[in-house]
Structure 1
């Protein structure tokens, strides 16, 4: 059995679904069900005895310790995090609480549990911490992609809080001997993505005939990773990764934001034409956000060489699958679009 934290969020729920497609090993799933955590993401597992859901917070030490005692997992995979840069700028406190204090509590609970294990159970236990490429800061247009040895230079409250959590994980390994693994991934996209991030927001707004907000000049560059490829990478790291090591996970797909938006418009025009005309008419450039990193790019050579992982999806195939999923799952989209969410999007992306 493994314990997954944050397993009702975007990447976490995709991982739980992917895990149970590829393993019969049971999953205990702990999630606080904040605005982006959604039990509907796990609907395919309803009634599946291999999946046990627990509503709760990684900051609740007593709860986590009780779960570890009762379920005796062989590994913890930590997805639990506040993850949206824009929200971190408006309200950084929640990011420090979950990403730093929550990770600390989880590490301490894991350390205590690990100390109770013996023999093979102790030797095989792993704590896998899922992090982000944003801890490395920003790259110039001609700079080499981030490797695992790139210095940390976080530029937003979100990335600073994730950098701090990475440092805690490293320290708990080197000081206490906790067998940890860390992954730093590039921008994920795919099914079940809450519509506040670029790709799902553009899909949902374009289908509704609303403006498609693009920060600044739209030339900020990101490396895009299809979420199911990310899940496969985490499975590989958990199975074969070297204890104490960090592995970068990238999709090998650098794209500017405006390329992404225009690509989504073209796909929607093909798959569900709009009588009002091409959807790129809806593109609206808005004031850039503070401290907006210009470029991220991941060098995943270590992961590919050591563990034999490769992304299966190109950006074109992954984006098409993503758009098709949103077209086929309008009820899910409607379910996550509360009035509070719509108010937040309206405030965040007001025209300059």
Structure 2
């Protein structure tokens, strides 16, 4: 159904679709030097391969410099096919204190973040420090290099639940230290702080501050063992195991395919309004229970392959993590090209392809 592009790790039709949809953008990136943090993660690999594909296809003379703690490990274990890519450069270091490239960077994509996969006790401190110190370092580089644009990938977690619980009066909300250091609060507040810092600096130094508030995604390279529920469901389907919903299955999510994500991020980078946040995510709302059933159906599993452990509370409104997309549709004309079922199908096919070639 899909063919991995020679010299790349993504499907050729995904790369070609991204290239075609970004046709109006490429001319504005001709000769650009892009600096990317978080370049070895899910977002980063998709951005790197899409940019390299376009660079080769259109002879754009772009340079992509990626910040990584361990570039050699990344090239050896995850991306050996990128080792000799002429357009790709690496800077070794941490986001808070890396050595800036000598050649000025015209565009910066700051997509780095501290994950909490191992549930370490110091995660909240690391996330907050990385967000503040790392953003300060990016701002310093943008100012020194006279960069044209800085794109932040922040999160839908900036939208904290309202703490007003008594009509027009605000109740305090957090009931102790545990609430203040919770992943949802720390992650969301640190991301919003990054937005504020970058907007203030943009006014002072004159670069464009672009903000992509990212929600939930699916596609090749999405980690299957982390706390991404759709990744966990796809993992279980690939193994032929029962797909287990640990809760009651009522929370609502929406998912954007990674190929669409690249189109949206690069369009925001080049065409977005400075200081204006854009939500990035899927439009179709789906409950977690229904998502599990959709993964099972696309994988060709029987209807009883899904187990829902929790029991919904009668009359309770479902928790929702859904983006409003009116702004990005109206201002940038962006819409998802790949529906949820096709996104799941492509992700399953990519993992099966990799399993067959190991």
Deviation at 1:73, TM superposition (A): 1.1
Aligned to 1:111: 139
Deviation at 1:138, TM superposition (A): 5.4
Residue of structure 2 aligned with 1:4, choices 25, 36, 58: 36
Alpha-carbon distance in structure 2 between the residues aligned to 1:155 and 1:38: 34
Q: Which structure 2 residues correspond to residues 215-230 of structure 1 after superposition, within 5 A?
A: 215-230=246-261
Aligned length: 294
Relative to structure 1, the CA distance from residue 331 to residue 9 in structure 2 (aligned partners, 3 Å threshold; closer, same or farther) is: farther
- Structure 1 runs not aligned, ≥5 long: 140-152, 335-352
More off after superposition, 294-303 vs 210-219: 210-219
Aligned-CA RMSD value = 3.2
Q: Which structure 2 residues correspond to residues 158-177 of structure 1 after superposition, within 5 A?
A: 158-174=184-200, 177=204
Alpha-carbon distance in structure 2 between the residues aligned to 1:26 and 1:12: 15
Alpha-carbon distance in structure 1 between the residues aligned to 2:76 and 2:45: 9
Instruction: Encode CA deviations 1:1-51: one digit per residue, 9 max, x unaligned.
Output: 1111111111221121122223441211113369xx786543442311111
CA contact (8 A) 2:39 2:111 kept: yes
Deviation at 1:224, TM superposition (A): 0.8
More off after superposition, 213-222 vs 154-163: 154-163
Q: Which structure 2 residues correspond to residues 90-109 of structure 1 after superposition, within 5 A?
A: 90-91=119-120, 93-97=122-126, 99-109=127-137
CA contact (8 A) 2:160 2:188 kept: no
Alpha-carbon distance in structure 2 between the residues aligned to 1:57 and 1:300: 33
1:234 paired with 2:234, answer: no
Instruction: Encode CA deviations 1:71-118: one digit per residue, 9 max, x unaligned.
Output: 42112111111345xx48x43522441x3322322332233333334x
CA contact (8 A) 1:213 1:285 kept: yes
Deviation at 1:192, TM superposition (A): 0.7
| 1:67 counterpart SS class | coil
Alpha-carbon distance in structure 2 between the residues aligned to 1:267 and 1:242: 38
- Structure 2 runs not aligned, ≥5 long: 1-32, 163-178, 313-317
| 2:320 counterpart SS class | coil
Query: Does 1 or 2 have the higher relative contact order (CA < 8 Å, sep 6+)?
Result: 1
Which structure shows the bigger proportion of residues in helix conformation?
A: 1
1:311 paired with 2:336, answer: yes
Alpha-carbon distance in structure 2 between the residues aligned to 1:134 and 1:38: 31
Aligned to 1:82: 114
CA contact (8 A) 2:255 2:340 kept: yes
Relative to structure 1, the CA distance from residue 279 to residue 127 in structure 2 (aligned partners, 3 Å threshold; closer, same or farther) is: same
1:296 paired with 2:321, answer: yes
CA contact (8 A) 1:203 1:264 kept: yes
Q: Which structure 2 residues correspond to residues 180-219 of structure 1 after superposition, within 5 A?
A: 180-195=209-224, 196=226, 197-219=228-250
